[in-house]
Amino acid sequence: MTPFQLYQIASILLLAALLFFPVSKIIWILSVRRLQRKLGRELTPPEIAGQRRRARFTAFLIVLPFSYVFNLNLFKSFYG
Torsion sign, CA atoms 36, 39, 45, 46: negative
**Mean per-residue pLDDT of the chain:** 94
CB-based contact 43:51 (threshold 8 Å): yes
CA angle (42, 50, 38) in 5-degree steps? 40
Q: How confident is the model at residue 78 (pLDDT cuts 50, 70, 90)?
A: confident
Enumerate the domain spans of the chain.
Answer: 12-79
pLDDT tens-digit map of 12-49: 999 999 999 999 999 999 999 999 999 999 999 999 99
| Residue 46 burial class via C-beta count within 10 angstroms: exposed 0-12, middle 13-18, buried 19 and up | exposed
- What distance separates the 2 farthest-apart alpha carbons in the chain? 56
43 CB neighbour count, 10 Å cutoff: 15
